[in-house]
Structure 1
Amino acid sequence: MLLNLLRRWRHWRRSRPFWGGLFAVLAGAWICVLPLAPLKIMLQQGVAGIPSVLMGIVMIVLGLAAWFSPPQRSLAGVLTTLIATAALVLSNLGGFLVGTLLGILGGGLMFAWQPDAARRAGRAGKPDGADGADEAGTAESAVAAPPPPTPHHDPQGAQP
């Protein structure tokens, strides 16, 4: 039961930009929490805390969007990076630089993530060295036609 649950979790985590979304959610939470400090500090800050809270909420939503809608990861990654950079100026130095750095890292990871087309095509079961070379290891047998591209659900049509 537990092994099956861990296997399902691993499959879910690997089928989406998990780490990029996690860093974006952490960055948004960090930027959001700083202006919501004790009430005495918030009253002195005034209206300046509103952009911080809004940017943090948007970054959290973008991180969750990357998790639950992987085809939108490129847009979410770019927007997360832009908002994290804007937070540097608009929100307490981007959460004292921690929120900005986490947001830029998360946005970059979301943008760079690609679905693993080889695993879905069933070629992941090949052991290392099973590329068509015979026991003698001749160069003629190792040179083969490249495999045909595998279709995947990426709306932009990028091939890994």
Structure 2
Amino acid sequence: MSAETPVQSAGNFTRLRLRFRDWRGSRPFWAGVFTLLGGVPIAYFPYATLKLGTMSIAMATTAGAGSLIIGVLLFTLGLTMWFQQATRIFAGVAAIILGLVSLVVSNIGGFIIGFLLSLIGGALAVSWVPVKPKAEGAGGQQAGWGPAGDGVAETAPEGAIGQPGLPNAPYEPADGGAGHGVPAEDANGGHRVG
């Protein structure tokens, strides 16, 4: 192995991580994760068997098939949120409704775990909004921002220097500098602007 191999693999890992971050940011990723995870306990618990020594405890109900259907639908809705962003609102509302139905059908919504996860996932999907590209002003810069986009304020319009009341205009005292930079007072005791 050469000394360049770890650097190259680190570059590949970084590139893949950045690609995944871009992919994740362009869709309701966490909504899909919570919805997928919500479907697992709802579908699993009615078919699970817990063994305590020689005793087996089955949590099966008469609606075991209904629990499996709800779990599979939640899993499918989670994938839909990832790969079909246009249907995110439908998928979110359907996940919320299936989570509510699972309270009655599937062992209190997969012992509340699946119910809460599917509700959170559905709510995140409904509230997710795609990022809009930033509008650019003239010259490739946003209005009011410096060349590096670091919040540099705009300069005053031409001919505005020395005019009181305009933003970014330097202050000039009304008495021509005789008052040492303190504005003159008017008859009411307030300061005159110009």
Would the aligned equivalents of 2:46 and 2:61 in 1 still touch at CA under 8 Å? no
Q: Deviations over 1:23-63 (max 9, x none)?
A: 00000011111112029655x73532111111000000000
Q: Matched residues, percent identical?
A: 38
Residue 30 of structure 1: aligned partner: 41
Candidates 64, 75, 83, aligned match of 2:90: 75
Mapped partners of 1:114, 1:34: distance in 2: 34
Q: Deviations over 1:104-126 (max 9, x none)?
A: 00000011111101359898997
Candidates 123, 134, 141, aligned match of 2:154: 134
Residue 62 of structure 1: aligned partner: 77
Provide the TM-score with structure 2 as the length reference.
0.62
**Does the C-alpha gap of structure 1 residues 128 and 94 become closer, same or farther in structure 2, counting only changes over 3 Å?**
farther
SS at match of 1:110: helix
Q: Deviations over 1:44-102 (max 9, x none)?
A: 73532111111000000000001011111010000000000110111111011111111
Provide the TM-score with structure 1 as the length reference.
0.74
CA-based RMSD: 2.9
5+ long unaligned stretches in structure 2: 1-11, 51-55, 157-165, 169-194
**Does the C-alpha gap of structure 1 residues 15 and 46 become closer, same or farther in structure 2, counting only changes over 3 Å?**
same
Residue 65 of structure 2: aligned partner: 50
Candidates 13, 19, 27, aligned match of 1:16: 27
Residue 128 (structure 1) shift: 4.9
Would the aligned equivalents of 2:95 and 2:119 in 1 still touch at CA under 8 Å? yes
Residue 130 of structure 2: aligned partner: 115
1:88 corresponds to 2:99: no
**Does the C-alpha gap of structure 1 residues 69 and 120 become closer, same or farther in structure 2, counting only changes over 3 Å?**
farther
Mapped partners of 2:135, 2:64: distance in 1: 46
**Higher helix share goes to which structure?**
1
**Higher strand share goes to which structure?**
2
Residue 100 of structure 1: aligned partner: 115
